Amino acid sequence: MLSDFLLLETYFEGPETVQFYEDLSKRYGRGSVDMAESEGFLVSRPVLCGPYCGKRMVWLSELGRQQAVKASSVAAYA
C-alpha cells in the first residue's frame, strides 16, 4: 500500500497524491489501512465541501514515505 502511494507520487512528481479511504479499504482491507494510519504511515482528513464532502482523503506521511522508500530499496535487492 505504501509503495503504491510512493509510485503515484513519483508519477505525478509531488507528494500531493491522495486516495479516498473507501477505495483503499476495498483494495487492502479496512484493518490494514487503519493500522497504517495508527502507526503514522498514513494521514487522513475529511473532505469538507464539494461533491466528495464527508469522504476521507488519505496520503503518505513523511514517515510513510521513508518506509516506502526503504521497502522498495530492499525489494530491489531481493
Q: For the chain, how far is it from start to end, CA to CA, in angstroms? A: 19
| Total Cβ atoms within 10 A of residue 7 | 13
Structural domain containing residue 59: 2-77
Please tell me the total count of domains within the chain: 1
Percent of the chain past pLDDT 90, that is, above it, reads: 55
- Separation between Cα atoms, residue 41 and residue 67, nearest integer Å: 8
Q: What is the mean pLDDT of the chain?
A: 86
Sequence-distant (≥ 6) Cβ neighbours of residue 33 within 8 angstroms: 1, 21, 24, 25, 42, 58
Whether residue 42 has pLDDT greater than 90: yes
Q: What is the CATH number of the domain that holds 38?
A: 1.10.10.10
15-39 pLDDT, tens digit each = 668 889 999 999 999 999 999 999 9
5-21 pLDDT, tens digit each = 777 777 776 666 888 99
